[in-house]
Amino acid sequence: MTDGLLDIHRIKPKITAPLDPGFVPGALFNGRYREAVAAHANRTRVLIGIEREDGHISRGDIDILPPGAGHDSVTLRYVDRHVKFLLWARGGWKIHFSGPEFLARHLSQAYTPTGQRSADVEIMQRAYDKEFAVEVHRPEEMPPQNEAALALGGNWDGCRIGFDLGASDYKVAAVIDGKPVFSEEMPWDPRNQKDPSYHYQHIQSGLKKAAGHLPRVDAIGGSSAGILVNNKVMIASLFRGVPPDQFQRRVKPMFLEMANEWGVPFEVINDGEVTALAGALSLNTTALLGIAMGSSEAGGYVDSNGKFLGWIDELAFAPVDFNPDAPRDEWSGDRGVGALYFSQQAVNRLLSAAGLSYPAEMSVPDRLKEVQQLADAGDRNAMNIFETIGVYLGYTVPYYAEYYEFNHVLVLGRVTSGAGGDQMMRTANRILKNEFSELAEKVKLHVPDEKSRRVGQAVAAASLPKIRK
């Protein structure tokens, strides 16, 4: 892309990532492109809608440089990354599009079972039980925005059970009128189990144990990794060992069956959303984006009214680095997506550049622990890893702000621990202050402290359902 003002190789952050000098932040690329559009005598409006369950549609219309003016390759990248981000932030099974033919052709070819975005197509088809489609319209035919607003969480009346399902343990809590009276963390091994009875029985035993600390059960709320739609498990790594036919027959309706068995209001949502809810409840605020840096990147969002919008917020697969040579995600085949920048995978990826190496048989979590111990001891090579992730974060928060309206960002997960995590946050705040001062005035970054830990995820999940009067 050698396009003068829009030459991607000229888009350099003022504060360079020590171990990744080729990082091209989405916020800088988009900002430069929008400057070019504003300076041009003409512009073209592109209309984009992402449709998900129950006919809900998220619109993300943008202006582009006019086709055929010598900027089409850059425009293609701008639109391609925009659609990809919308798809993974909002979720959906259909892309509605109205715009230039070369862009419509690209999207129609890429989002097919054999196209460039075949992995995205496969996941979204499983998530929404519909064949993925790209539908091209005339402008007047574009469907309008149709968002949901789910008032989940913050319900503390009555006797409630909350649960939070993790990869190595699951937590349950019993809550009476907002006060936790019991909580326990129990080990399990869900990912290696082929029989879904294992999962069902373990979850139910935890719920029954919590119920033993309550005079009655009025409502149950839960948190689980993966994509859940209307209490149905559409995709979840916790059940990766279950054969596909058993997943469809027994895992997908699992929480609906539990709800029927307990006979009380029962809500289960994505763990990223519950993370955001727990943060919003702890900080007593709204308009909060949660970013969890664990084995992958998890996201969750609570809007300014304290509501969920029904979005999937799978930021692990949303692009953040626009460098065409950015690292490639093994699963999707795409480059520069969040999981490789905000997770244990990011630490592992940067080891070589930092001059560090570990035995091949050492797990990624164990490698993270080793690097964190080095950082705690002041090792410069280890600190460079966390400073690099801090650069990623500082430039990506403004990019996320193009798609979410927030005043608070809660950053948590194992990667944020210790001296390395402190370095990461210092770097991110410095970038916001120096390069995005207007945004820095209204957005505050938080890490879990005693205040934000006050409401754990299992307890927050307990507040999800409303009790029917």
Write out pLDDT tens, residues 249-264: 999 999 999 999 999 9
Count the domains in the chain.
3
Asked whether residue 108 falls in the same domain as residue 197, the answer is no
Asked whether residue 315 falls in the same domain as residue 416, the answer is yes
Q: Are 418 and 377 in contact (CB under 8 A)?
A: no
Mean pLDDT for back-to-back runs of 10 residues, the chain (469 residues): 59 94 96 93 95 96 93 95 98 98 98 96 94 98 93 92 89 96 92 94 97 98 90 91 95 97 95 89 92 90 92 95 94 93 96 97 94 98 98 98 97 92 98 97 86 70 90
Q: Is residue 412 part of a domain?
A: yes
* Predicted local distance difference test score (pLDDT) of residue 237: 85
Q: Is residue 462 part of a domain?
A: no
Q: Is residue 156 part of a domain?
A: no
The last residue of a domain, from among 202, 231, 262: 262
Q: Which residues contact 377 (CB under 8 A, 6 or more apart)?
A: none
Asked whether residue 50 falls in the same domain as residue 95, the answer is yes
Q: Are 270 and 225 in contact (CB under 8 A)?
A: yes
- Residue 1's nearest CA partner among 101, 71, 63 is 71
Q: What is the largest CA-CA distance in the chain?
A: 71
DSSP-assigned letter for residue 295: S
DSSP-assigned letter for residue 251: I
Asked whether residue 345 falls in the same domain as residue 412, the answer is yes
User: In which domain, by residue range, is 229 found?
Assistant: 165-174+183-262
Q: Which residues contact 43 (CB under 8 A, 6 or more apart)?
A: 37, 63, 64, 65, 66
* Predicted local distance difference test score (pLDDT) of residue 1: 40
Asked whether residue 234 falls in the same domain as residue 308, the answer is no
Cα(275)–Cα(253) distance, integer angstroms: 23
Asked whether residue 356 falls in the same domain as residue 429, the answer is yes
Asked whether residue 281 falls in the same domain as residue 419, the answer is yes
Asked whether residue 130 falls in the same domain as residue 205, the answer is no
Q: Is residue 469 part of a domain?
A: no
Asked whether residue 225 falls in the same domain as residue 293, the answer is no
Asked whether residue 298 falls in the same domain as residue 359, the answer is yes
SS3 195: coil
- How many beta carbons lie within 10 A of that of residue 406, not counting itself? 24
* Predicted local distance difference test score (pLDDT) of residue 5: 55
Q: Is residue 17 part of a domain?
A: no
- Token reading at 205: 């035993």
Q: What is the pTM of this model?
A: 0.91
Q: Rounded to the nearest 10 degrees, what angle do helices 26-39 and 380-400 cross at? A: 40
Q: Is residue 137 part of a domain?
A: yes
Asked whether residue 280 falls in the same domain as residue 425, the answer is yes
Asked whether residue 256 falls in the same domain as residue 398, the answer is no
Where b means 16+ CB within 10 Å and e means fewer, 170-190 reads bbbbbbbebebebbeeeebeb
Query: Taking CA 335 as the corner, what is the angle to CA 92 and CA 437, rounded to the nearest 5 degrees?
Result: 85
* Predicted local distance difference test score (pLDDT) of residue 397: 98
Q: Is residue 288 part of a domain?
A: yes
Cα(207)–Cα(184) distance, integer angstroms: 11
Q: Is residue 351 part of a domain?
A: yes
Q: Are 259 and 232 in contact (CB under 8 A)?
A: no
